[in-house]
Amino acid sequence: MVEHAVEAITAGHASVVVLAYGSTARADLKRRRRTANLSFGTRGPVQYETPYGHTLISKYAMSARRHMHEFGTTIDQLAEIAVSTRYNASLNPDAYYRDRMTLADVASSRLIAEPLTKLHCCIRSDGGGAVVLAREDRARDLTTRPVWVLGTGEAISHTTMSEWPDFTDSPARRAGELAFARAGVTPADIDCCQVYDAFTPMVLLTLEGLGFCERGEGGPFVADGRLRVGGALPTNTDGGGLSACHPGMRGMFLLVEAVRQLRGEAGARQVTDAALCCVNGTGGWFSSASTAILGVE
């Protein structure tokens, strides 16, 4: 949405664009207004996999298992993503879950889709958010410190698992290359990241795809607390979809947290001197990706 809004403003079709999202997913489940199962319909290519019972999480579990097979990634390395994200959530008074947890907690939680347990999975919450994009001259005239969209990129990969040639290659690789090139910066310049974390392997493949580490090295990369506030690459600093907020779609909250960090408004979870933030959203089961590099002057 950000890329399309920026293009509309740049082309002169609009001077201000508001992007908004809201959902009462958790409340609806409690009132039985919806089911917990995500349905993407059975038309098109998906109809050929539907009879085999592939759930959304099972697709991510397959990707995780393949990464473990090819690169020796361990389940504890994946679990560290959940533990680090919960650490960040403990610093956010608005996070849904704030009690810190351990690798043992993740391992002992209920198995959902092997090898992923419940704490490898995003929470269900209600939530909403919005961002305002404005033409440069109007943005400079505002009372709050503007955050600039420096570069964006989008990429599409596959619809079904059978169409995905490599379960360890996220389309974030191509989206990230575009965004970083257009922004004129590299992953080494980034101060913090906000990436979609529906499941822990999503974070792992995204960080590799964006170039923060080499392909296959995501496990050791995240294993030392690097993703925590105060770590080398603070990621999902509000507690992410794994602990803070996930009402069905997570992308809006990535943008909101990025802006808060870059404006220095994040309170106890503030990343020191944050000037550049990489935001990446993932769609489907690594089916698509969009990346935005945001910064301050």
- Residue 246 near residue 123, CB atoms below 8 Å: yes
Q: Is the dihedral of CA 206, 209, 211, 216 positive or negative?
A: positive
Q: What's the CA gap between 66 and 53, in Å, rounded?
A: 19
Q: What does DSSP say about strands 288-295 and 276-283: parallel, antiparallel, or unpaired? A: antiparallel
pLDDT, residue 38, reads 53
The candidate with the shortest Cα–Cα distance to 226, out of 243, 207, 206, is 207
Q: Report the DSSP beta bridge partners of residue 149.
A: 294
Could you read off the pLDDT of 233-282 as tens digits, one per residue? 999 999 999 999 999 889 999 999 999 999 999 999 999 999 999 999 99
Strands (E), 135-184: 148-156
Q: Which residues of the chain have pLDDT under 70?
A: 33-42
pLDDT, residue 11, reads 96
pLDDT, residue 50, reads 75
- Residue 95 near residue 243, CB atoms below 8 Å: yes
pLDDT, residue 153, reads 98
Q: What's the CA gap between 61 and 269, in Å, rounded?
A: 30
Indicate the DSSP class of residue 104: H
Q: What's the CA gap between 144 and 290, in Å, rounded?
A: 26
